[in-house]
Amino acid sequence: MNRKEFLKKGLVMGAGGMFLTHLKGYALSKTTSAVSANDQINIGSIGINGMGWTNTLKALKVAGVNLVAICDVDQNVIQKRLNDKAVASFKDKIKVYDDYRKMLEQKDIDVIYIGTPDHWHALMMIDAAAAGKHIYVEKPIGNSIGECETMVAAQKKYGSIIQVGQWQRSSTHFQDAVQFVHSGKLGPIRTVKVCCYQGWMRPQPKVANSAPPKGVDYDAWLGPAPMRTFNASRFHFHFRWFWDYAGGLMTDWGVHLLDYALIGMKASTPKTVVGLGGKFAYPDLSQETPDTLTTLYEFDEFNLVWDSAMGIDNGSYGRDHCIAFIGNYATLVLDRNGWEVIEEKRSENKVLFPLQKKSNNGHEEHQFNFIKAIRENRPENLNCNVQEAAHVAKVAQMGNISFRTHQKLNWSADENRFTDSKINDLFLTKQYHNGYQLPTIY
């Protein structure tokens, strides 16, 4: 059964819910043959080593989007991107920066793409919004709960249209799966299991400190993070495994997967959270975040379980990642390849549903959705706005904070903080260093 037949048969009931309001209008025709001068969108990209460049190239697939500037603290990366055949025909028109603040002064830039390590997201997004730019910022939106809240306040103050890189929100099969969950056909859902086993992700061997590579402005790379001597095992992709810059698999993949768990359950914040794990598989490699982590979130009517591991792929239901909604009648299992319903053996409700494969490129659709929202000046049509991205990032941060404190933590939804004031003082907002400050937004 394809997606059209699935919808036509009426197996999906109304979705609704606070987390599904923006999952619409995801497609903007890729066959647009002509874009008027007024609809041309000029973008500048900051942090172009990994996902930042991937996002940039996918944005360029949208008709009328033009790359006019790039910025990176690593001149080696800049040269590599200028040599990319995808920009060969116009690379001489691309302005190059090593300081993002200078890029923000370029008047003809409409949109800023941010693909830096996580610890830079907040300052860059806030500065770009204050400069009057629209923004695409990679996930997780912030590197602390306090950053997330400040970024939400900045968007409200400056009014920028901001899309966050949780591109699964633009994947049609994810949307279809959530609608099936909302139909009630699974029966009461008591547990949601989120599995993230990433065999290709491993920390680096420990190496001695050294001078930064030639062409790297390491002080600028550190930015608001604590000053420390350069170490190759903490640099570029592997920043993910160190608390100063990121939050491990929990914030790297967790904001994708936990997001749909919350959407499916129409859930807000948990009442309690406890995270257990450690460096069990690779204790001698260079990392601070756990290579194995199990986190239990308690909600009013169900439990949410996060289960992650680095270096191995054989997770729940034979998948290396998935979200499983476990109901009395059946279980719906969802991942980036598709979704299926596995019937409970003793169930009298016949809800067996075969594998529904993915039907679009969510990453590309995320760019089309973003650019369309800008052109139509309809931020309400964004598939992943700042408020929604901040919410799931905060939930992921809660799990990490519980793990780091070795405590079961209670969250007060009314006060928007933990009930333990000492935990709030230590972890709600990261301390900034090297003369940087997280602004207070009024």
Structure tokens at 11: 């197996």
Kindly state the average pLDDT of the residues 53-75: 97
Q: Which of 136, 180, 206 is nearest to 389 (CA)?
A: 136
| Cα dist from 362 to 21, 36, 168, 174, 337, whole Å | 17, 26, 6, 9, 11
Give the CATH architecture of domain 172-360+389-427. Answer: 2-Layer Sandwich (3.30)
User: In sequence order, what are the residues at sequence separation of 6 or more whose Cβ sits closer than 8 angstroms to the Cβ of residue 289?
Assistant: 240, 241, 242, 243, 246, 247, 248, 249, 250, 400
Query: Which amino acid would we find at residue 103?
Result: M
Kindly state the average pLDDT of the residues 266-294: 96
Task: Indicate the angle between helix axes 386-405 and 145-158, nearest 10 degrees.
Answer: 170
Dihedral sign of CA atoms 240, 245, 249, 251 in order: negative
- Between 19 and 112, the more confident residue is 112
Dihedral sign of CA atoms 434, 435, 436, 441 in order: positive
User: In sequence order, what are the residues at sequence separation of 6 or more whose Cβ sits closer than 8 angstroms to the Cβ of residue 290?
Assistant: 248, 277, 278, 279, 280, 403
Q: What is the structure's pLDDT at 391?
A: 97
Query: Which amino acid would we find at residue 27?
Result: A
Structure tokens at 302: 């169900």
The pLDDT tens digits for 307-350 are 999 999 999 999 999 999 999 999 999 999 999 999 887 766 66
Q: How confident is the model at residue 352 (pLDDT cuts 50, 70, 90)?
A: low
| Cα dist from 273 to 123, 157, 294, whole Å | 28, 32, 11
pTM comes to 0.92
Regarding beta strands 321-327 and 330-335, do their DSSP bridges make them parallel or antiparallel, or are they unpaired? antiparallel
Query: Facing residues of 283 across strands?
Result: none
Q: What is the structure's pLDDT at 120?
A: 98
Report d(CA 99, CA 325) in Å as an integer: 45
Report d(CA 100, CA 433) in Å as an integer: 18
Return the minimum-mean-pLDDT range out of 17-21, 115-119, 191-195, 301-305: 17-21
Query: If you average pLDDT over every residue of the chain, what do you get?
Result: 92
Q: What is the structure's pLDDT at 384?
A: 98
Q: What percent of the chain has pLDDT over 70?
A: 91
Query: Which amino acid would we find at residue 11?
Result: L
Q: Does residue 335 contact residue 319 with C-beta atoms inside 8 Å?
A: yes
Whether omega before 140 lies within 30 degrees of 0, making that bond cis, reads yes
**Domain-by-domain residue ranges, the chain?**
22-169+378-386, 172-360+389-427
DSSP string, 378-405: -GGG-SS-HHHHHHHHHHHHHHHHHHHH
Q: Is the pLDDT of residue 15 over 70?
A: no
Structure tokens at 367: 């760019």
Q: Is the pLDDT of residue 18 over 80?
A: no
The pLDDT tens digits for 203-234 are 999 999 999 999 999 999 999 999 999 999 99
Q: Is the pLDDT of residue 202 over 70?
A: yes
Q: How many residues does the chain have?
A: 442
Regarding beta strands 303-310 and 189-198, do their DSSP bridges make them parallel or antiparallel, or are they unpaired? parallel
DSSP string, 244-279: TT--HHHHHTHHHHHHHHHHHHT----SEEEEEEES
Q: Does residue 367 contact residue 61 with C-beta atoms inside 8 Å?
A: yes
Dihedral sign of CA atoms 27, 33, 39, 42 in order: positive
- CATH for 22-169+378-386? 3.40.50.720
